[in-house]
Structure 1
Amino acid sequence: MNALFSDAAATTHVLIVDDDAQEQYVLQEMLRGNGFRFSFAETCDAALELALTDRPDIVLVSLRSSGPDVVQLEGRFRSHTDTQTIPFLVITTAKRFYDGTVVQRSEVLDFLIRPFTLGQLVDRVQAQLRMAALLREQGAATGTDGMPAPQEDWELIGRTKKCLVERLADVHRLADLAEAVSVPERRLALAFQHCLGISAVEFIRQERIRKSKFLLTNTTLSVRDIALKVGFSSAANFSTAFNTQVGTSPSSYRNQALSNALVLDRSLNSK
């Protein structure tokens, strides 16, 4: 079984919008995972109607000369309260992306340029889902006084995330992260709880797993080298943590990604 999304919520719903059945199949096979469910639409009207009755967590749509109008589709989703925060991932070519006719990238809309690898697609979808969750939490987060989390807390979270990406191998404790961004530990801990509702330690753990998935599917680094790059002391410790969170070993995860890539190649070559 594909374990690429085994740590995602079992109810995660992907809406694929494309009038090409083969394209729908390829995307589904690339993203198929434990509990991941899919729905499909060929037109803007059908996509919006489906989204209003069964809200997706993310929309994947291909930008081609034929097929659904991405600008129209995105605009109609943003005009409805129930669908305006659903993230879009637009799959396109470099020519279409740079011709000036597409909608602008935003917090809830991103692009993936063909050709892309399975790992790149997985990583981009995960990034969009995380951003959508972050925006929902930002809108809902309140402190003990019932007030929204202050802007300075969100700025600190953003600065901390950037720092963690750059120093992941060297950050092992909250104290390490607090020292890196030059704030007291308690100040950083409160910002994470106030804005995201999780501890800084939990955020570090999630980032390690996210980065390791990317390296497993986008590089030929050994499991040991990946373990060191994301901050584990040994391949054994990394494998244990990865298996606990993802439900499979790093090697099995990588092998499944390669298997899915072969499925994609066969599907594309058969067109």
Structure 2
Amino acid sequence: MSYWSSTPTKRAHILLIDDNIDELQVLLGTLRGADHRISFAFDAMQGYRRATALLPDLILLDVRMGAIDGYATCRLLKADRATARIPVIFVTASGSVEERLTGLREGAVDYILKPYEATEVLARVAIHLSLADSKRTIDTTDETEVVYVDAEGADAGSAGRDKADRVIAQAAERVLLSNLSRAPSLAEIAVRVGTHEKRLSRAFRERTGQSVFEFLREARLQQAQRLLLSSALSIDEVALEVGFSGAANFSTAFRERFDATPAAFRNARFRVAETDAAPRA
């Protein structure tokens, strides 16, 4: 009989990201007792910078850290190929189910609630280190890039700047695609990916050839196509599902993009399907 072991296979490097020095000291004492190597960051963007430079085995990330929160850090980490596979555990004083769900949707693997027991922290850390170690594969053709980004979004060199912009744009895409029906404003998206509107707009256009909201409009229309073909939703319901304020606006946009109204598009595809299904003479 085999038993699950939460003991990590090696001494791990853990990055702690928290703006509360007292909380960091508590975590430091807990983790050093398990002989882990520890690094620190004291705000969200410094945390992202240090993660890209150090590539730790696991990150413990506070949710609430001033103007840029832990969710923004997690979005950037998960949009960056170099750090996407690093397990992120959120640490928070909030018992809100919605806050925990938000963190999990952004890519975190777990939550630890403050105040916490040292044994719980060590157990969760050990479990996720073991899970990550079991999934880790070595791709010798994948050369990891390292980029240093400051709190305002500046970086060292044009190559670093290009990569940082790419990560910002990818993180913004994730924000938009996660909720097409209620997409946030440009200012809110910028905050959620840890940058400002001007840089976000530039980075997004350079990556996609579109503005943020041109991308959003195209994504909404592509999703509408899929729903018209694969669901029983009415056209009004499809319009609301993808974020249009009404069926008339939706029909106009759909016709401009696909040269057919939603109803005509759906009916034409159903007629094709019926013809294909008819028995041959």
Larger relative contact order (Cα-Cα within 8 Å, sequence gap ≥ 6): 1
TM-score w.r.t. structure 1 length? 0.43
Greater C-alpha Rg: 2
